[in-house]
Structure 1
Amino acid sequence: MGALGQLGSTQQRLLRQLLMASEGGTVESLCEQLHISHNAVRQHLSALIARDYVERAQSRPSGGRPVACYRLTEAGHALFPRNYGTIATALLAQLGERLGVAAVEQLLRDLGHGLGSREVAPAPATPPEELASGLARKLDAMGYEAIAARHGDEWQVEAFNCVFHALARQHPQVCKFDLAYLEAASGRRIHHMECIVRGGHVCRFRLGALLSSPEPPDDPAA
């Protein structure tokens, strides 16, 4: 169940009304649309504002005192599903046909490297636990539900939510994006130890040597 489904039915209806109101909605208009009292609307708005799903918009002139107006925040808009997967899958298929699999894989590496390069890379002497925790936070912010996990003497990063799951099942080279992102963001060689799409319980990444240090390349199948 998504975050929207975890809200009460009235709050879901209120959010949908604001979604359809490009200029936002007033307490009065929401009362009429939802058939509930002014106090109930205000209570629901207060709860949704506290969760950063709704915000106060510019007041509307009403011939007298300006009327308070409310609208969805970015987080509020994000509650509603967006089917990016279908378009992304079709796009990768077209690119593969026109450019070839190797070129698409390199494109994904370049995208990952470009995004990762925007991050502030940790210092070379950063302790492994701190390094893994920092990378996990970066992945977590992107929706991967990631944590730092200890495996023997090593600290690794585990992601429980593959944000490209449906896409990666048809185009496994998408995983190269993750690897390139993590390498650019960390300055380390990253080894893909376990993959959800290939039957693993998590996507697990081992932190290797600094990219400036000589190290055997990854297995191409990894």
Structure 2
Amino acid sequence: MKFDLHVHTRFSKDSDADIDAIILHAKKNGLDGFAVCDHDVTGGGPFSVQRAAELGSDLVIIPGVEISTSEGHLLVLGIKESIEPGLSPAETILRARAQDAVVILPHPFKLTSHGIGYIAGLDVDAVEVLNSRCLTDGPNNKACAAATSLGIAQVGGSDCHVPEMVGISYTEIDVQERSLDAVLDAIRQGKVRPGGGKTPKVFVMRQMMKNAQKRTAKILGLD
């Protein structure tokens, strides 16, 4: 099955992506499901699950979060309770494990997006080695080489902030049962491989400009 394990909805402060549109494009783009990984908030996952059911979609939606640790970002999939940002990566992982959640290290060497900057020593289930929003191949190639040398499973995700780009990079998961638990178990077992391509640079640049405008408006008290 094909999953995008890194999707941002309008619940993220840097995304205006409509959830219904994400569900529509995910199906259109050939996905079997996706993980909602909004920044430090968990509401987008359950809401997406609800909307998929209301729309009659058979997509498997994984409730998740992209947590801002003291050193960079971590993806936690299958999260049940919020984990506060700002903790060390090790403590964040411990709290995720207490919920039996899956932990993925996203874009570790993309420092402009709060990549942690290293892989060794982190108790993660997988490393995101194909982040479609990397403007150059360097961060992805470095992540792939490091994960390979350490024998850690490798996944892909679009890191999309607009619905059209959901699934442009993805993870192929060797799983037969179309259920949340089965998908999470397959990731834990390393039955994954990354696939897909890169987000067109125009989409990345548009988001960067929009975020810069939001930051400026906040500084000036115009938001």
TM-score bracket for the superposition, by shorter chain length = under 0.3
If the length of structure 1 is used for normalisation, what is the TM-score? 0.22
TM-score by length of 2: 0.22
Give the structure with higher Rg (CA).
1
